[in-house]
Amino acid sequence: MSSTGKPTPILGSERKPVRGARLIHNSHPDQTIEISVRVRSKAESKREEFKAALAQPGFRHMSRVEYENTHGADPADFDQIRKFAQEHGLKVIETGTDLARRTVKLSGTVANLQKAFHVELKEYSHPKGNFRGRTGTLSVPAPYADIITGVFGLDNRPQAEPHFRRLQQAPGIKAHAATASHDPNEVAQIYDYPKGDGTGQCIGIIELGGGFQLDDISNYFSSLNLTPPQVISVSVDGGTNSPTTPDSADGEVMLDIEVAGAIAPAAKIVVYFAPNTDQGFLDAITTAVHDSTNQPSVISISWGSAESNWTPQALTNFDQAFQSAAAMGVTVCAASGDNGSTDGVNDGNNHVDFPASSPFVLACGGTTLQAANQQIVNETVWNNLPNGGSTGGGVSNVFPLPTWQQGFDVPAPTVTGGGRGVPDVAGDADPNTGYNILVDGETAVFGGTSAVAPLWAGLMARLNQQIGKPVGYLNPQIYAQAVESAGFHDITDGNNGAFSAAVGWDPCTGLGSPDGAALETAITQPPQQQAAASARAGGSRKTA
């Protein structure tokens, strides 16, 4: 195999121009860039069979070693990428340890990378920051194109946004004065979370900016009379724990840590910091999923953007990373977005947020929660549009309707091949009924579906602790009728723009907000035992 022969496009590598970006000049040919090359699984020919097996009840979780041996990259394919690199003057900077991640890291000059992948790299200015970009497809000789499933890092445009909303207070009112706000552990009590503190669990959190201060963590948990959780940071692709100001992405980082940590304070929390690019995002996810040192059983993601903002190769490789998580018993919770049914895309159409739209992710939508005496008084769809945000939700234009979502009145997709309904579950996200958070020494109230992902991650940590093993891929389990009737508060009032709440699943709040103890019973007991338990309890459950 060599670089001779007609260039063959890498499937799904097409990049579109960024709206609002202005060309500055060509990238300097001597500039050095690091990229991530993803290669096929050694079991790629059985991909559809693998996906179907993951959705079956009783799927046996694999160990990380077993997964690598069965579904990791073939070492021979890594050898071919090394050969490709040598032929084009590129340097292999990570080898031998990433077979499970199926990732080879390469570095090279712009000039050599342009020749290797038949692409032109240019510098652009944009209101959200300057970036290096490309358009069109990437190409390599046909034998290499068969091996490569994605190339990330040539283009470093900002890929995602954090899905948090900070409550804006009137002048002269202290930030903590919102009377309807809650501490995260209080929200867990309102939702009747099962007892536990997350002992023995690890929660992974993906962050594409911002940072945390240890003093804030110590002070915050002391104010809740909780022992602070162990929080450690992992650097991915040069991303670091870099706190700055309360109005930065620090708000996202602290919201995630403090919500998950208040619910599962004995769990270890590992924060994976990466640059806000598709390369950084994907590398952070694969690093977390395959982290054999910390072994997170739950991963929380509060960043994303509309499906239309992603390349097909990114959608495919992210989704495959989430399949890996499902196979190894790792639950992935992702925020469904804060811009209603359009997901912030101004083209007159409805859109859903990715990565929440992956069928192997627990997509987390938002509600407005009114409570008193640790009981739900009223709960509706979170919608403060036009300016205050609203839960994302709708139908994927990329991923088909999963088997476990059939029969749940998911609207028809607008694009052939789509159909997956978003979200799956919900929780308090309205900043007006939001979470008391400490960030960079400042107390504030935060909401957004960003809060719901760690809210559910904390619940999963408690469930894993109580059950004694990872629950893992939750979606097929919660869409079983017995679980739907037992584990959720059905939200039937409100809309997110184009879609309205309804009895059962809907494209605003999914199956509903959690009834934690009932959900634990539902996923651990056979249906006949659930029915008996319900009869003993009088057949009642909380409703919104």
Tallying the residues shown for the chain, one arrives at 544
Q: Tokens standing for 325?
A: 């998580």
Distance CA 72, CA 505 (A): 36
The CA-based angle 68-43-36, given to 5 degrees, is 65
Q: Is the separation of the CB atoms in 199 and 461 below 8 Å?
A: no
> Got the DSSP string for 466-489?
HHTS-----HHHHTSHHHHHHHEE
Active-site positions?
Answer: 252, 256, 450
- Looking at the DSSP bridge assignments, the partners of residue 436 are 445
What radius of gyration do the chain's Cα atoms show? 23
Quick check: helix, strand or coil at residue 176? helix
In terms of C-beta distances under 8 Å and separation of at least 24 residues, what long-range contacts does 90-95 make, across chains too?
A: 90/116, 93/34
Q: Tokens standing for 542?
A: 């909380």
Q: Which is nearest to 205 in space by CA: 268, 160, 157, 265?
A: 268
CA torsion sign for 344, 347, 352, 355 is negative
Residue 300's identity, in one-letter code, is: S
Q: Which is nearest to 426 in space by CA: 341, 360, 488?
A: 488
Distance CA 47, CA 51 (A): 6
Q: Residue with structure tokens 């059939």?
A: 406
CA distances from 328 to 96, 188, 359, 396 (A): 21, 27, 16, 25
Q: Is the separation of the CB atoms in 10 and 138 below 8 Å?
A: yes
Q: Is the separation of the CB atoms in 275 and 156 below 8 Å?
A: yes
Q: Which is nearest to 383 in space by CA: 492, 235, 271, 508?
A: 508
